[in-house]
A = this chain, B = another copy of it.
Amino acid sequence: MGKKNKQFVEKVTAMEDDFAQWYTDVVKQAELVDYGQVKGTMIIKPYGYAIWENVRDELDRMIKETGHSNVAFPLFIPESLLQKEKDHVEGFAPEVAWVTHGGEEELQERIAVRPTSEVLFCEYYSKNIHSYRDLPMLYNQWGNVVRWEKTTRPFLRSSEFHWQEGHTAHATDEDASNETDRMLNVYADLVEDYLAIPVLRGRKTDKEKFAGAKYTLTIEALMHDGKALQSGTSHHFGSEFAEAFNITYLDENGKSQYVHQTSWGLSTRIMGALIMVHGDNRGLVVPPRIAPTQAMIVPIAQHKEGVLDKAYDLRDQLKGLVRVGIDASDKMPGWKFNEYEMKGIPVRIEMGPKDIEKEQVVLVRRDTGEKEFVSLSELEERLPALLDEIQTNLYNKALEHRDEKTSVATNMEQFKQTLDQKGGFIKAMWCTDVACEEKIKEDTTATSRCIPFEQEKVSDTCVCCGKEAKELVYWAKAY
């Protein structure tokens, strides 16, 4: 074991020493991502993609269960179309990749590679919505978008990323509001139940909301280094876009009305949260529910007669029960242990001649390192239960960490001190004046993460200006 740990010290920078380097090392060593040729693009490798596919499939199921249909809108947006809604274009134009030539020909109008697709859906809705009978229109698409970012990091901020974007149109503001809530809750359920990451649910301040939105709801998670990560957002547009794009319908009384719209997105960014919430100095830790391989069989002394046969029998036995793999390569078991710990596979199953004799296996948990001997006759019961325990434990550990790193501040001195010493979330009251929000960011680099749905009154005055407090805000340094 000493030797094994040593190998890891060589492989992955300790997160206490350099968290950013630890992240980069894990991404590389766990074989999640490689860098693309164009700056800031990423190659998602088989293991990284298999995790993403599991996340995607669960979310896709939830999106369909809530009544949405998948569609595929184009990658390309004419410049004139992007400019139709003013706030929106101001928010996105600085980071658009522009296509100017098709083959040898210069285009008459520049084309944006979509940074997001609101305007495409709006244009479609303006032509395809006529009557209240057409509403709601509940569309979703899975795809890639491009944002020309200056500083990029795999998953967290890449020039191209993968996501789903939902776009819906409703008859009333209230319907749109319910949809905005519904989809935020879908995201929260996905992230908490499948990725085992506890999230805060709340509303963004006007300063932090989506370009063109009436308001933005968000789920916010806390990473191991005490920084926050916005993990999914749901936007209520009111009828802003509908007015810009003239999206109207005839109501039951034959009167023309603007629709009310929402959009919501969750991206490969969530893979960054997965790494930074559960990972440790031995590498990635993947929650069982989204792990491509939930249990990996490593035969011990596999050259001895009968060992490999029994290991394959075990694999066949477990196949329908859990997502099980086997590594029968000629690498040393220690190397295999390292590899699957680095990849964060929830359970390792060891089986050697002695175990075969005793009709047992050894189960080793990735999250705690604990070993247990389980008889073959009890394995089919024990293994799924163990996976559930790991899933729960990962969530509880992350919640405990977040609670530890959540503090109250009632004045700026306390705010700064806590942020410097502990990081994490600072709960502090706010007067709702954007000047205070900007000052806090300037003085501390912390931003408002959300105005939580569950409000408390931790003091009577704004943490910044001392005037009357109106809302509790969670603040943090963020990715």
Where the two chains meet, the residues of A that have a C-beta atom closer than 8 Å to any C-beta of B are 34, 36-38, 41-46, 49-50, 52-53, 69-78, 81, 93-104, 110-111, 113, 120, 123-124, 128, 139, 143-144, 146, 148, 159-160, 162
Closest to A121 in B: B43
Across the interface, do B148 and A102 meet the contact criterion of CB distance under 8 Å? yes
Nearest residue in B to A127 (C-beta to C-beta)? B34
A99 in complex: contacting residue of B53, B78, B99, CB < 8 Å: B99
* Chain B residues closer than 8 Å to A37, beta-carbon distance: 74, 76-78, 81, 120, 123
Measured CB to CB, the closest approach of chain B to A64, in angstroms, equals 10
Pick the contact of A120: B36, B113, B146 (CB < 8 A).
Answer: B36
Q: Are A36 and B103 in contact (CB under 8 A)?
A: no
Give the docked Cα–Cα distance between A78 and B100 (Å).
Answer: 15
Note all chain B residues with C-beta closer than 8 A to A159: 76
Cβ of A36 and Cβ of B100 under 8 Å apart? no
Taking a contact as CB atoms under 8 Å apart, the answer to whether B98 and A100 are in contact is: yes
Across the interface, do B49 and A69 meet the contact criterion of CB distance under 8 Å? yes
Is B99 a contact partner of A113 (Cβ separation < 8 A)?
yes
Q: Is B148 a contact partner of A76 (Cβ separation < 8 A)?
A: no
Contact A144 B75 (CB under 8 A): yes
Are B46 and A139 in contact, with the CB atoms below 8 A? yes
Given A37-B120, A76-B41, A144-B143: A100 in contact with B100 (beta carbons within 8 A): yes
Q: Which residues of chain B are near A95, meaning CB under 8 Å?
A: 102-103
User: In the complex the two chains form, is A38's CB within 8 Å of B74's CB?
Assistant: yes
Q: How far is the CA of A113 from the CA of B96 in the complex (A)?
A: 14
Contacts of A96 in B (CB 8 A): 102-103
Inter-subunit contact B38/A76 (CB<8 Å): yes
CA distance A298 to B34 in the complex (A): 52
Complex contacts, A70 vs chain B, CB 8 Å: 46, 49-50, 53
B98–A146 CB distance below 8 A? no
The answer on a CB contact under 8 Å between B143 and A74 is: no
A78 to chain B, nearest CB (A): 5
Which residue among A45, A53, A72, A96 has the maximum number of chain B CB atoms within 10 Å of its CB?
A72
A185 to chain B, nearest CB (A): 23
Q: Across the interface, do A74 and B124 meet the contact criterion of CB distance under 8 Å?
A: no
Q: Are A103 and B148 closer than 8 Å at their CB atoms?
A: yes
CA separation between A102 and B148, bound complex, in Å? Answer: 6
B99 touching A34 by the CB < 8 A rule?
A: no
Closest chain B CB from A326 CB (angstroms): 15
Shortest distance between the CB of A123 and any CB in chain B (Å): 6
How far does the alpha carbon of A169 sit from the alpha carbon of B199 in the complex, in Å?
Answer: 42
Given contacts A42-B74, A98-B99, A99-B99, 8 further A-B contacts (CB under 8 A): A38-B77, A43-B71, A46-B69, A49-B70, A72-B162, A76-B159, A93-B103, A94-B104
Residue with the highest number of chain B CB atoms closer than 10 Å, among A69, A98, A139, A159: A98
With beta carbons under 8 angstroms apart, the residue of B45, B71, B143, B144 that contacts A46 is B71
Residues of B contacting A42 with CB < 8 Å? 74
| A101 B103 Cβ-Cβ under 8 A | no
Q: Which residue of B lies closest to A133 (CB)?
A: B329
Provide the residues of chain B in CB contact with A76, threshold 8 Å.
36-38, 41, 97, 146, 159-160
Which residues of B are found within 8 Å of A100, using beta-carbon distances? 98-101
Give A157 Cβ to nearest chain B Cβ, in Å: 14
- List chain B residues, Cβ under 8 A from A102: 95-98, 148
A71:B98 contact, CB within 8 angstroms: no
Q: How far is the CA of A76 from the CA of B152 in the complex (A)?
A: 15
**Chain B residues closer than 8 Å to A34, beta-carbon distance:** 124, 128
A323 to chain B: closest CB distance in Å?
A: 13
Does B97 lie within 8 Å of A72, measured CB to CB? no
- 10 pairs, A vs B, C-beta closer than 8 Å: A36-B120, A37-B81, A38-B76, A38-B111, A46-B71, A46-B139, A49-B69, A76-B146, A97-B111, A100-B100
Bound-state CA distance A72–B33 (Å) is: 9
CA of A49 to CA of B100, assembled, Å: 29
| Cα-based distance from A111 to B146 in the complex (angstroms) | 13
Q: A103: which of B49, B94, B111, B124 is its contact (CB, 8 Å)?
A: B94
A44 nearest CB across to chain B (Å)? 4
Q: Does B36 lie within 8 Å of A74, measured CB to CB?
A: yes
A268 to chain B, nearest CB (A): 9
Pick the contact of A50: B69, B81, B103, B110 (CB < 8 A): B69
Complex Cα distance, B46 from A69, in Å, reads 6
- Chain B residue contacts of A93, Cβ below 8 A: 103
Name A71's contact: one of B49, B72, B113, B148 (CB within 8 Å): B49
